[in-house]
Amino acid sequence: MRRGETLTVIGGSGKGKSVLLKMLIRLLQVDSGSITCFGEEVTTMPEPKLLGLRRRIAMLFQGAALFDSLTVAQNIKYPLVEHKWGNREQMDQRVEEVLEMVGMPGIQNLKPSELSGGMKKRVGLARAIAIQPDVILYDEPTTGLDPLNVRRINGLILRLQRRLNVTSVVVTHDMDSCFTITDRIAFLYDRRMDWTGTKEEALATDFAPLREFVQGGRGTLESDGTEDG
């Protein structure tokens, strides 16, 4: 991947898109094969180096994965504390900054149970960017959100890429989101990622499975097999 670009991985449900993201930072270990991040082999990386890698690559989980027992501020401070990032005042200031960035100032003392789905995703994103990563992995960032929140999250991903120049890998099957935020697309099909290209190339492709996926996802209902009434 090129620094600062956004790559979107698309593919059907249950095809292994989220697994792919988790393997990139070794939340899941591969059965075979190799993964290289920043020139280093991830699959055999020793624990201290892995910690360093996770400092550079942050992840936004599908359901945000906020810790229920902690407040918003404590959730955002979690990676800062683990990576020994500054003193208490600096951490409080950083929490304020990232909450401003995701458009949710002043909610430090709320618990995750008091937040809506869209708010949780934005706090999850605030937690992911708190440690100033080089890469952010997004696992289905817009799934289950209303159109307004989808637009907000898409806007945030674009703004973060422009402001912080972070590289993003987004896993989604929301084609509208994909075409709004992405620079390049990778299509996961039949356990392989044979097709990668730009948005324009994806729209003009003659690779049948991708064409069907893109057209289906963008609302062309020519042959979906459903009937009215």
Partner 1 sequence: MSAAIKLLGHIGAVTRLSGRTFKIVFSRRFVDRSLLSAQMDQAGIGSWSIAVLTALFTGAVMAIQFADGLEPYGASLYTGKMVSLGIVRELGPTLTAVLVGGRVGAGFTAEIGSMNVTEQVDAISALGADPIEKLVAPRVLACIIMLPLLTLLADFVGCFGAMLVVMTDVGVTATFFIEQVLETLVVADLLHGLAKATFFGYFIAIVGCYVGLNTRGGTEGVGRSTTDTVVAISITVLVSNFLLTKLFLSF
Contacting residues toward partner 1, per CB under 8 A: 22, 25, 27, 51, 54-55, 58-59, 61-63, 65-68, 78-79, 82-83, 127, 131
Task: Select 140 or 174, whichever has its Cβ closest to partner 1.
Answer: 140
Backbone angles phi, psi at 12, to 5 degrees: -65, 170
CB of 167 to partner 1, least distance (A): 16
Task: Select 114 or 194, whichever has its Cβ closest to partner 1.
Answer: 114
CB of 55 to partner 1, least distance (A): 6
Tokens of 64: 């945000």
CB of 118 to partner 1, least distance (A): 17
CB of 193 to partner 1, least distance (A): 22
Task: Select 130 or 150, whichever has its Cβ closest to partner 1.
Answer: 130
Question: Element (H or E) spanning 59, and its range?
Answer: strand 57-60
Q: Cα angle vertex 176, ends 27, 181, to 5°? A: 60
Task: Select 23 or 160, whichever has its Cβ closest to partner 1.
Answer: 23
DSSP notation for 69-116: TS-HHHHHHHHHHHTT-S-HHHHHHHHHHHHHHTT-TT-TT--GGGS-
